[in-house]
Amino acid sequence: MRTVLKQFNDTVTVDVAKSKHAKGKGRPVPTGEAGLTLLEMIVVLVIIAIVAGLVTMNVVGRPDQARVTTTKTNLVTLSSALTTYRLDNGQYPSTTQGLKALVEKPTTPPLPTAWPDGGYVRIDPVDAWGNPYVYESTGSSFTLKSLGRDGKPGGEGLDADLDSRDR
């Protein structure tokens, strides 16, 4: 059995005048397939606008929800720092000392017996809306909360208080 190999020729010649794809040639476009009408284009644009509006509505509401999540996470972190403070010093910072006792070594009684260089947190704690946290301590227990978006006690939704005990 013999195999015959053909030589490859990479030159292609096309006579544009005879080509079916030349301008003015080819199959005629039926009337019903002439492309999109103005009405169809408007319908497509309206659908795109509706979808864009729905996406925007879902995205715009997210920053406040992100602030709630950030504040809840910070409450957990601050609670852990307060617990570490109590383990090191035998009691929580007083209400007067406040959360500032986690950043700077307190100078008012009760003075901490073991305060680490650099403190327990690096910056003054404020919630995601820039409001200070509400901290109260009896020495053996504490309450820590954020007053929410409005910075006022109570409220509903994004204005509701967030408490470190609610997890």
Domain holding 88: CATH number? 3.30.700.10
The model's pTM is 0.63
* Position 18 in a domain: no
Query: Looking at residues 27-43, what average pLDDT do you find?
Result: 71
Q: How far apart are CA 137 and CA 74, in angstroms?
A: 18
Residue 69 has pLDDT above 60, yes or no: yes
| Per-residue confidence band for 94, with pLDDT thresholds at 50, 70 and 90 | very high
* Position 85 in a domain: yes
Alpha helices, DSSP H, located in 9-165 = 38-60, 62-89
Q: How far apart are CA 95 and CA 64, in angstroms?
A: 29
| Per-residue confidence band for 38, with pLDDT thresholds at 50, 70 and 90 | confident
Domain that holds residue 155: 62-163
pLDDT digits 0-9 by tens, 99-123: 999 999 999 999 999 989 889 998 8
pLDDT-wise least confident of 16-20, 56-60, 67-71, 136-140: 16-20
* Position 132 in a domain: yes
Number of domains making up the chain: 1
pLDDT digits 0-9 by tens, 126-142: 999 999 999 999 989 99
* Position 9 in a domain: no
The residue with greater pLDDT, 151 or 167, is 151
Q: How far apart are CA 125 and CA 72, in angstroms?
A: 13
Closest CA to 131 of 148, 154, 153, 156: 148
* Position 134 in a domain: yes
Q: What angle do CA 147, 154, 96 make, to 5 degrees?
A: 45
* Position 34 in a domain: no
* Position 29 in a domain: no
